[in-house]
Structure 1
């Protein structure tokens, strides 16, 4: 599994520049002979982790949904950044762990705050500042493969899994349950019948998040979200070459989005094989979004909100932590459950009756070339 190099360059800069590592100092000379310690050496420095060192692994797993190695990395990184950001009320390790506990549970269980020696008010302030910090860092941790080699590497991984060529990501919409503002309930009602805000997400074959934007009311048509997003516009001008993302039927007709073949268009076994491969890829949204909501249960129900923007910070913060967890291979909580797929809106059923669009033509050619093969070599 790979993660964008920008992430580790940013982390190393913060850890070394701010002297978080015990083996470095700001005055050390920058020569070829000087050997700076690795990230793993920085993470393993016990003297700077007195609170974390006092917590057993069972507590970390059950109460924070993270393992010790990942926590050491997160704590070091946030402490380094808090020293530079004026909005941070504190840089103590206990407050960082309290914020992580809030993400894990969506509340502050008394057994956790007591164990950390922190009161509810201080924990609430820590959540606000750390959420803002992590959200602002999302462009460093969540990056799309912009180079040709990165795109080809991503496409090869998807082709190995499904047989579909030129796919660089799976496009989905993460829904977070909310209580909407009075009078706007209809805007937030999604196709599963509850009020939500949704965030457009693209992830790779391993579940690493590549793109995150457009936090909208849950009833917003997915087509309009894609077409008005930065990443959607980038695809429309071929900034990412002749590649595409896999999406649901709700995105039928959207440029560079591969959707399943509609039932009335299926005229061969090749189309059926393609739909099976498509379902295999798009179905991974259940695992990825389920992982997010199981590890960060604050995303299961945010409660009353003023606007989608007020929820966006929390979603982005948890998505940053998700990518870090993937880097450290953190196991999922025992109560993991997949996220249900959202059915398409009625608008899609109308669009499905259109006789032609660009992506349908492209898709038919691709199916003929890559899926028109039977056991004896003939369709």
Structure 2
């Protein structure tokens, strides 16, 4: 009885139970690719780069290893599985995974300045123009732009602003890519009801290109964007052979951004609607999106293929109704000149 009373009064300290952290890197590359999207060598490099930010000063003897933190977070991004399932596989608790994930995401995002850069210099633009010309015959292209929607649960604040035109709560994400499907710009902060053209107008890339940073290069966008001297869109209701040829070449060059978005969502299933909605507040979802963008470029630059067990990526056409074309005379003249050169 005395023992039971001491336990009830908290005088006997409950022994803490520590799980063994599984050595996830002990598996072969096929297993690692299927669950974390990278082979062992790249996972080790990523852990080494993120290590200084994740190795916290602690007096405990059971701190979660950096490898477990990184791989469990990558497992969530790659599969979109529930946190409890991923935590059990890694030998940690679900609350521990929830607590460590923001630090891993932030560490990946901080790598973005090296992996996601828009081409403003002459040399950078020249290389991307060459890539697009070789791929599509469209001259002077410095990027293809589009937006995509990432489904989320209804947020507690400003819920109506996140309802897109398909009546789904989303984040509307702007991406620009080169001809090799590397992202050169990602803007992930606007609610789903925001129009694509508004996001571009209020982005740093849009402002700099409007100020002349595009030099003689153009972005290619769909009809949801306004026609500008630095942003070329398709001809609506093309009639002449010249207009139809322009639309054909324009579509071939611009389709690369739809392929890039499809590849992003295929590789990082947490972003794909087939995996359901992301059950987090919008600010955390935006960090998840940005981290996936960095990891996408890391995969592309190192030639990492998709695991063979994944379905092939789908195109991601998300064209919005055309905006009002105000002050587009300069863009119309540029587009007419391009038609004559094709």
- The TM-score range, normalised by the shorter chain, is 0.7 to 0.9
CA distance in 1, matches of 2:121, 2:319: 34
Determine which of 303, 307, 310 is the counterpart of 2:284. 310
- Among candidates 130, 138, 141, match of residue 164 of structure 1: 138
Q: Please say if 1:289 is aligned against 2:261.
A: yes
1:129 aligns with 103
Asked if the contact 2:229/2:334 (under 8 Å) is kept, the reply is: no
2:209 aligned counterpart, secondary structure: helix
> What residue is the counterpart of 2:3 in the other structure?
none
Normalised TM-score (structure 1): 0.75
Return the index of the structure with the highest Cα Rg.
2
* 1:57-72 correspondence runs (5 A): 57-72=29-44
Is the 1:155–1:165 Cα contact (8 Å) retained in structure 2? Answer: yes
CA 226–355 in structure 1, closer or farther in 2 if over 3 Å, else same: closer
Q: Which residue of 1 aligns with 2:317?
A: 341
For the residue of structure 2 that corresponds to 1:283, the secondary structure is: helix
CA contact (8 A) 2:262 2:313 kept: yes
Aligned to 1:155: 129
The 2-side partners of 1:227 and 1:288 are apart by 22
- Structure 1 runs not aligned, ≥5 long: 1-49, 372-379
State whether residues 171 and 202 of structure 1, in contact with CA within 8 Å, keep that contact through their aligned partners in structure 2.
yes
In structure 2, the CA distance between the partners of 1:282 and 1:189, relative to structure 1 (3 Å rule), is farther
Alpha-carbon distance, 1:304 to partner: 4.3
Quote how far apart the aligned CAs of 1:232 are: 0.4
**Contact 2:148–2:316 (8 Å) recurs in 1:** no
Deviation by residue 1:29-84 (Cα, 9 ceiling, x = unmatched): xxxxxxxxxxxxxxxxxxxxx93541122321222222223322212211144348
TM-aligned CA distance change 1:84 to 1:320, over 3 Å: farther
**Contact residue 98 and residue 126 of structure 1 kept, 8 A:** no
Q: 1:204 to 1:85 in 2, by over 3 A?
A: farther
**Coordinate RMSD, CA, aligned:** 2.6
- How far off its partner does 1:191 sit? 3.8
TM superposition shift of 1:245 = 0.7
Q: Secondary structure at the match of 1:343?
A: coil
Please give the alpha-carbon distance, in whole angstroms, between the structure 2 residues aligned to 1:313 and 1:337: 23
Cα shift at 1:267: 4.1
Deviations 1:268-297 (A, max 9, x none): 212211111111122223321111111111
Give the alignment of 1:18-37 within 5 angstroms. Answer: none
TM-superposition CA deviations, 1:311-360 (whole Å, max 9, x none):
21111111111111112211124223314311322x53xx36x7963212
For 1:204 and 1:356, locate their aligned partners in 2 and report how far apart those are by CA, in whole Å. 25
Q: Give CA-to-partner distance per residue, 1:104-155, whole Å, 9 cap, x none.
A: 1123476654443333222222212101222233223211122211111101
Aligned length: 312
Question: 1:227 pairs with 201, 224, 244, which one?
Answer: 201
Contact residue 228 and residue 332 of structure 2 kept, 8 A: no
> What SS does the corresponding residue of 2:109 show, helix, strand or coil?
helix
Structure 2: distance between partners of 1:148 and 1:183:
44
CA shift in 2, pair 1:101/1:320, >3 Å: same
Cα distance change, pair 120–339 in 1 and its aligned pair in 2 (3 A)? farther
Which residue in the other structure is 1:364 paired with?
336
Q: Which residue of 1 aligns with 2:47?
A: 75
1:189 correspondence with 2:133: no
Question: Post-superposition shift, 1:160?
Answer: 1.4
